[in-house]
């Protein structure tokens, strides 16, 4: 017969912590008493009583001058208040996962929310949870929850906070969660089933599915163990729930090829060993997936400050992340030790059920607690990355967090990298505070790990990237090719545009079909523009660009819109001694001769007109060959404008 022991059989870390706390207190000079069994296992309670740790069920029965041990299931807030009023010393053995639920419901109740607990109303853990909020509703399953929701329509509108007993099953919890999610408009849902419980139940079901019989070890009053047996029965025809080895009868498993053994979270190792030994007495061939000695060694494995350890996230509270390390210590990561990034959200960094590698900061063997840090372990790894980056000339990315007189500070993987002002890539004298919160790429140039000093250069990376882009531009450039560029600077005669590592110039005449005096009338520094190549000189590294659309011929637009004799509203663009030029359409100007500006003699055009002024004119002549247009204001005033003759030379600027 093959005998297989489940890997997760026996004490969970919460139960182990509670028992070890009680055992340590048994050696203290001051007597201590359990307020209710510290765990659900009579054998453990009897052992503690032999050590001098008594047990009472009511506060009134407490002996005088003794300390009080709060059981792993926890107690309601009122119990703590009464004990404090009595002046009693409290040794709190409440499981950290249960304590997390206490905090959830306490905060929810304080915000006026209706707390709903999925669990057994008579279970001490559930009673304790209810004791941390006002008017909690407790339901065993979805059927009871349905009755509550159907009772009053207003129950659907209530702000509900839903939690579960830690030892519940997903078979019970999942339908309740989905029901509330679907029907309640203002619900908070917390999956508070203990990860260790889930793991134990999953392994037990998997083992039951491949064995002819299952032995489930644990106290008959233990909810955890009872549910374990129920789950096993759904997969295996022969399931026996026993408390001790004495209850085991070999006839139970006679003729069975394989027997699986699992144990509830409150079952101590010595009882599992008793069952194992008794099975060995009548079994010739025995396979244990994980020996009891190995399990025992793992359960008492010590932790030391500075150790790197891997655990499983079992809970997330407002102040910390709970981690099951598989040892006798309850591990937790303060939120401040989770990440260096102050903007990071906890839910984006860790999730319940995930493995997490951490660094041990402190170990408290007395309380069975280990303070962990993910941030510090990440820092060690990140220093390795920084040092490697220097050797391999790797480009790193970071966020600018501050600036000072000498330069800027960049956060690269949680490590401060100083970039001198000359290496930021910004012009001399520029305001470096503009770079704060920008993401930059840099190369590390100097590292001194012992002094925690790192120096980098943004300019070096930018220069290399720009050189590479420039080489690509010059390799593929050709007349007429279009580029998307950024305006880098403006001069009186044009604009310089970066087309990807190379600057080209757009002459003022190529910025627009309209007559403009200053490039700033059309573009600004930083604008994204579409340009095309007019000409280029690879030797002199000069590129002439155009921006106005050459596919649109302004003359064609003009001639298709206007004829001789038509009137138009035009803009005066330039005043000359002999007249004024006016823009009819962008790219086509006409001349208003000085004799055609007014119905009386004037000394100069500026006496009547000014640049930028909009005026109505009559088109008196169109020279299609030379693309010249004559305009007249006087013709619209009833004068002889269109009949007056002008010297053609006066048309030229």
**Is there a contact between 77 and 131 (Cβ–Cβ < 8 Å)?**
yes
Q: What is the largest CA-CA distance in the chain?
A: 133
DSSP string, 310-321: EEEEEEE-SSEE
* 359 CB-near residues (< 8 Å, 6+ apart): 306, 307, 308, 309, 372, 373, 374, 376, 377, 380
DSSP string, 203-215: HHHHHHHT-SEEE
Buried b (16+ CB within 10 A) or exposed e, 18-50: bbbbbeebbeeeeebbbbbbbbbbbbbbebbee
Candidates 393, 426, 301, 307; CA nearest to 357 is 307
Which of 29, 49, 103, 125 does the annotation list as catalytic? Answer: 125
How far is the C-alpha of 193 from the C-alpha of 119, rounded, in Å? 10
Give CA torsion, residues 82, 88, 93, 95, to 10 deg: 20
DSSP string, 272-305: HHHHHHHHHHT-SS---SS-HHHHHHHHT----T
Q: What is the pLDDT of residues 300-344, one digit of tens each?
A: 456 788 888 888 888 787 778 888 887 767 788 988 888 877 777
**What's the full length of the chain, in residues?**
653
The pLDDT, as a whole number, for residue 301 is 55
Reduced to 3 states, what is the DSSP secondary structure of residue 360? strand
The pLDDT, as a whole number, for residue 379 is 81
The pLDDT, as a whole number, for residue 644 is 47
Candidates 612, 588, 582; CA nearest to 521 is 612
The pLDDT, as a whole number, for residue 287 is 40
The pLDDT, as a whole number, for residue 465 is 83
The pLDDT, as a whole number, for residue 283 is 55
What are phi and psi for residue 220, nearest 5 degrees? -65, -20
User: For the whole model, what pTM was predicted?
Assistant: 0.46
Candidates 577, 594, 583, 590; CA nearest to 630 is 590
Tokens found for residue 182: 């679907």
The pLDDT, as a whole number, for residue 199 is 80
Q: What is the pLDDT of residues 139-151, one digit of tens each?
A: 999 999 988 888 7
The pLDDT, as a whole number, for residue 196 is 76
* 458 CB-near residues (< 8 Å, 6+ apart): 410, 419, 423, 424, 425, 440, 441, 442
Active site (annotated) includes residue 125: yes
The pLDDT, as a whole number, for residue 83 is 94
Angle, alpha carbons 325-330-332 (nearest 5°): 85
The parts of the chain modelled with pLDDT lower than 70 are: 153, 280-302, 328, 365-368, 551, 639-653
How far is the C-alpha of 314 from the C-alpha of 335, rounded, in Å? 15
């Amino acid at each position: 017969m093959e005998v297989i022991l489940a890997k997760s059989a026996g004490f969970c870390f919460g139960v182990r912590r509670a028992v070890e706390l009680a055992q340590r207190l048994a050696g203290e000079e001051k007597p201590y008493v359990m307020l209710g069994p510290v765990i659900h296992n009579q054998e453990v309670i009897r052992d503690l009583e032999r050590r001098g740790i008594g047990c009472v069920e009511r506060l009134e029965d407490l002996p005088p001058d003794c300390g009080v041990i709060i059981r792993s299931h926890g107690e309601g807030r009122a119990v703590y208040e009464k004990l404090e009023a009595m002046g009693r010393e409290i040794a709190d053995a409440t499981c950290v996962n249960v304590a997390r639920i206490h905090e959830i419901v306490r905060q929810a109740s304080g915000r006026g929310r209706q707390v709903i607990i999925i669990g057994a109303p008579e279970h001490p853990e559930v009673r304790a949870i209810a004791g941390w909020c006002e008017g909690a509703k407790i339901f065993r399953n979805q059927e009871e929850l349905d009755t509550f929701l159907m009772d009053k329509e207003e129950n659907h509108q209530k702000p509900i906070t839903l939690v579960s007993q830690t030892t519940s099953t997903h078979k019970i919890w999942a339908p309740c969660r989905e029901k509330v999610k679907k029907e309640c408009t203002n619900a908070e849902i917390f999956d508070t089933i203990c990860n260790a419980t889930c793991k134990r139940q999953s392994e037990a079901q998997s083992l039951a599915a491949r064995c002819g019989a299952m032995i489930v070890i644990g106290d008959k009053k233990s909810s955890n163990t009872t549910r374990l047996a129920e789950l096993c029965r759904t997969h295996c025809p022969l399931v026996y729930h026993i408390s001790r080895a004495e209850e085991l009868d070999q006839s139970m498993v006679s003729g069975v090829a394989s027997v699986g053994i699992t144990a509830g979270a409150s079952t101590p190792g010595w009882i599992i060993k008793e069952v194992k030994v008794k099975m060995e007495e009548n079994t010739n061939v025995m396979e244990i997936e994980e020996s009891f000695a190995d399990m025992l060694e793992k359960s008492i494995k010590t932790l030391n400050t500075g150790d790197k350890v891997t655990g499983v996230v079992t809970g997330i509270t407002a102040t910390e992340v709970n981690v099951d390390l598989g040892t006798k210590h309850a591990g937790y990561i303060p939120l401040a030790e989770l990440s260096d990034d102050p903007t990071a959200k906890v839910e984006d960094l860790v999730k319940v059920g995930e493995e997490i590698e951490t660094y041990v900061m402190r170990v408290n063997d007395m309380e069975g607690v280990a303070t962990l840090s993910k941030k510090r372990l990440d820092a060690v790894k990140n220093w390795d990355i920084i040092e490697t980056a220097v050797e391999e000339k790797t480009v790193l990315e970071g966020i600018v967090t501050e600036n000072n007189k000498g330069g800027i500070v960049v956060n690269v993987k949680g490590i401060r990298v100083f970039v001198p002002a000359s290496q930021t890539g910004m012009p001399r004298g520029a305001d470096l505070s503009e770079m704060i919160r920008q993401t930059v790429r840099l190369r590390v140039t100097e590292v001194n790990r012992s002094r925690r000093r790192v120096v980098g250069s943004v300019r070096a990376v930018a220069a290399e990237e720009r050189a590479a882009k420039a080489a690509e531009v010059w390799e593929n450039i050709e007349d007429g090719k279009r580029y998307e560029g950024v305006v880098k600077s403006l001069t009186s005669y044009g604009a310089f545009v970066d087309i990807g590592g190379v600057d080209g110039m757009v002459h003022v005449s190529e910025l627009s079909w309209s007559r403009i005096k200053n490039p700033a009338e059309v573009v600004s520094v930083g604008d994204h523009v579409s340009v095309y190549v007019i000409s280029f000189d690879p030797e002199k590294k000069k590129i002439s660009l155009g921006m106005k659309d050459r596919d649109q011929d302004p003359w064609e637009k003009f001639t298709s819109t206007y004829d001789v004799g038509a009137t138009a509203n035009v803009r005066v663009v330039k005043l000359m001694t002999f007249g004024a030029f006016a823009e009819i359409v962008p790219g086509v100007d006409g001349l208003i001769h000085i004799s055609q500006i007014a119905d009386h003699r004037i000394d100069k055009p500026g006496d009547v007109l000014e640049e930028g002024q909009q005026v109505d004119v009559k088109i008196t002549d169109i020279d299609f060959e030379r693309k010249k247009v004559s305009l007249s204001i006087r013709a619209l005033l009833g004068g002889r404008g269109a009949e007056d003759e002008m010297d053609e030379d006066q048309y030229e600027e």
